[in-house]
Amino acid sequence: MSTLLSVDNLTKSFARGGIFGRTEFVAVDHVSFSLESATPEIFAIIGESGSGKTTLARMVLNTMSPSSGVIRFQGTDISRLRTGRDRLQFMRKVQPIFQNPSEAFNPLKRVDRYLFASAYHFAGCRSRDGREIAADEALKKVGLSLAEVKGRFPHELSGGQLQRTAIARALISSPALIVADEPVSMVDASLRMSIVNLFKTLRDELKVSIVYITHDLATAYYISDRVLILQKGKVVEMGSARQVLSEPHHPYTVRLRESILSLDDVERVHTSG
């Protein structure tokens, strides 16, 4: 079985200046996990803010280099991608989606430009028609069409349309892996479900694996196959999403579980008050 992504003992430390000299701060601490090519999955990385999720995502996306440890994508150590061609090939296959759709788009730039640029750089569409077709196909995969977004500025689209457009952009190059860093933290509950349902469809129909970074345990339970719980840069628990989230073992996971607001509290709060 071939491995899509393997993360092996990944560590990132930052220097923090102090009066008595610099100290090392370890943001990601010996993290290891792997995803298999044959079984596309939604792999959730859960942790509070500051636990190192974004730092881990940046290293997987090859936009930040680790202090130690190795990341292999389809067997290749990504720190050894030297030529422009190899890097482009990697960026095609591993695409990011960010937290806040309105920050991912420049407010003064039409959103279709992002789609056309991806079609040009990552899908090799040199003709204008080719770019439009590629953009339209990608938008259809997320339940939109080019007709709905063509010529529009970010503020002319709803938050949901914008996040879907960001996902469509990521799909243009037919990636094998999407790294989504808190993609639903800034969107409404009703929209949140349409985005996470879309991730399921991408996994099942397009066979894309998704690293889903979140602090929302309920959506992670709903869509993920496996979860990794990160506390202060360290993996404290990893396994099947149902198991880890229904019967957590590590005290930290238990604490996270207990902190999520339960709908059943509606009973407790309102019968006591």
Partner 1 sequence: MEEAALSVQNLRAYYVTGHFGMQREVRAVDDVSLSVRKNEIYGIAGESSCGKSTFIKTVAAAIRPPLRVLGGSIKYSFLDRDLYDLDERKLADIRWNHLSFIPQGSMNVLNPVRRIRESFQDFAFPHMGLGRSEFFDVVNRHLERLQLSPSILSAFPHELSGGMRQRVAIALATVCRPEFIIADEPTTALDVVVQKDVLALILETQREIGSSMIFVTHDLTVHANISNRLGIMYAGRLIEEGPTREIFHDPLHPYSRHLVASLPRIGDLTPKIALTGAPPNLAQPPSGCRFHPRCPLATDLCRQASPELTTLSSGRRVACYAVASAPATRPMTNDRMTNDKFKSF
Ligand X SMILES: Nc1ncnc2c1ncn2[C@@H]1O[C@H](COP(=O)(O)OP(=O)(O)O)[C@@H](O)[C@H]1O
Token pair of 186, please? 């800034």
**Residue 203 C-alpha from the chain's centroid:** 13
Do 179 and 156 meet the contact criterion of CB atoms below 8 Å apart?
no
Contact with ligand X (CB under 6 A) among 54, 165, 209, 231: 54
Residue 206 binding partner per list partner 1, ligand X, Mg ion, none, with a CB distance cut-off of 5 to 8 Å that depends on partner kind: none
- Which 31-50 residues touch ligand X, going by CB under 6 A? 47, 49-50
Residue 102 buriedness (CB in 10 A; 0-12 / 13-18 / 19+): middle
Do 18 and 65 meet the contact criterion of CB atoms below 8 Å apart?
no
Contact with ligand X (CB under 6 A) among 10, 51, 157, 202: 51
User: Token match 């339960």: residue?
Assistant: 262
Nearer to ligand X (CB atom), residue 27 or residue 78:
27
- Which 38-67 residues touch Mg ion, going by CB under 5 A? 53-54
Do 119 and 130 meet the contact criterion of CB atoms below 8 Å apart?
yes
Do 150 and 113 meet the contact criterion of CB atoms below 8 Å apart?
no
User: Token match 């999407």: residue?
Assistant: 178
Q: What's the min distance (Å) between Cβ of 61 and Mg ion? A: 13
DSSP 183: T
Do 164 and 142 meet the contact criterion of CB atoms below 8 Å apart?
yes
Q: What's the min distance (Å) between Cβ of 213 and Mg ion? A: 7
Nearer to ligand X (CB atom), residue 40 or residue 52:
52
DSSP bridge pairs for 117: none
Q: Which residues bind partner 1 (CB under 8 A)?
A: 48-49, 158-161, 187-191, 193-194, 196-197, 215-219, 221-222, 242, 245-246, 255-257, 259-263, 265-267, 269-270, 273
Contact with ligand X (CB under 6 A) among 40, 55, 192, 237: 55
Rounded Cα gap, residues 225 and 5, in angstroms: 16
- In 3-state terms, what secondary structure has residue 35? strand
Nearer to ligand X (CB atom), residue 40 or residue 160:
160
Contact with ligand X (CB under 6 A) among 40, 52, 160, 175: 52
Residues near ligand X (CB under 6 A), total: 10
Q: What's the min distance (Å) between Cβ of 244 and partner 1? A: 11
Nearer to ligand X (CB atom), residue 232 or residue 250:
232
Contacting positions for ligand X (CB under 6 A)? 14, 27, 47, 49-55
